[in-house]
Amino acid sequence: MTQIFAHRGYSASFAENTMGAFVEAEKAGADGIELDVQLTKDGEIVVIHDETVDRTTSGTGFVKDFLLKDLLKLNANKKGVKKEPIPTLSEVLEWLKTNKLICNIELKNGLFSYEGMEQKVIQLVRTYGLTNRIILSSFNHYSIVYSYRLAPEIETAPLFIEGIYMPWIYAQSIKAKGIHPNHSAVSDEIIVRTMANGIAVRPYTVNKDTDMHRLFKINCTSFITDDPVKALRIRKLY
């Protein structure tokens, strides 16, 4: 059965990358969540998509220029009524202990090479005893290779914007157990052949009914969507 991962939580209806969006994804029945991490000035791992806080919070500036204590004062639920802080990764991992969700942590270390990000994330995942429920992904494939070296027990998956020729060979070469491609950059044939070669395929970000049907039909490993409720409703047809 194709698993459904809630992209930045249940972000179609709740503020992205907030505890509210994660809790609602779990309540809805998603199999997993996807979230993004950045590093603060004092080296804390926080859950936010952009390098700056401008788009998603009440503040302005780069995440890397904030101390955690100041970052936590911002409201990450700009459109909602209830104020919500940016979550720390620890807070999310603590909450994951109370449920069975899989968690895809995307290491946002592309624009800035956050020194020590991989070590810090891995240490937290190990501390919370969640190594078997975490998938580390990144567009920065050096980071994927490095993460595997540091923690071969944690699953890794490179992200792709463009198509790639025989992605299973690439994945195997960097010891990744999965690939996370842009859904419009992979054909059914590539998905099926990749899975047949033992590599999980979790396309992103799948929001249209037709695209969901397509992936359920070929029993794709999983996909990442803003709208897990819609995906769950469509999955019932299969």
Cα angle 72, 74, 79; round to 5: 135
Distance CA 67, CA 58 (A): 16
Could you tell me whether strands 102-107 and 134-138 are parallel, antiparallel, or unpaired per DSSP bridges? Answer: parallel
**7 belongs to the catalytic site:** yes
**141 belongs to the catalytic site:** no
**Tokens representing residue 56 in the block:** 């998603």
**Closer by beta carbon to Ca ion, 6 or else 186:** 6
Q: Is 31 a residue that touches Ca ion (CB under 5 A)?
A: no
**Closer by beta carbon to ligand G3P, 70 or else 112:** 112
What is the identity of the amino acid at 188?
D
User: From the list ligand G3P, Ca ion, none, which binds 204 (C-beta under 5 to 8 Å, kind-based)?
Assistant: ligand G3P
Closest separation in Å from C-beta 230 to ligand G3P? 17
DSSP state for residue 52 in the 8-state scheme: B
Point out which residues bind ligand G3P (CB under 6 A): 7, 34, 36, 49, 106, 137, 159, 180, 204-205, 224
- Half-sphere CA count of 131, side-chain side, radius 13 A: 12
Closest separation in Å from C-beta 34 to Ca ion? 6
Enumerate residues 6+ apart whose C-beta is below 8 A from 28. 6, 10, 228, 229, 232
> Which residue's beta carbon is nearest to the bound ligand G3P?
204
* Candidates 20-28, 98-106, 169-177, 228-236; binding stretch for Ca ion (CB under 5 A): 98-106
Among positions 169-188, residues that touch Ca ion (CB under 5 A) are none
User: From the list ligand G3P, Ca ion, none, which binds 159 (C-beta under 5 to 8 Å, kind-based)?
Assistant: ligand G3P
**Tokens representing residue 90 in the block:** 């620890």
Reduced to 3 states, what is the DSSP secondary structure of residue 182? strand
Residue numbers at the binding site for Ca ion (CB under 5 A) = 36, 106
- Residues with catalytic roles: 7, 49
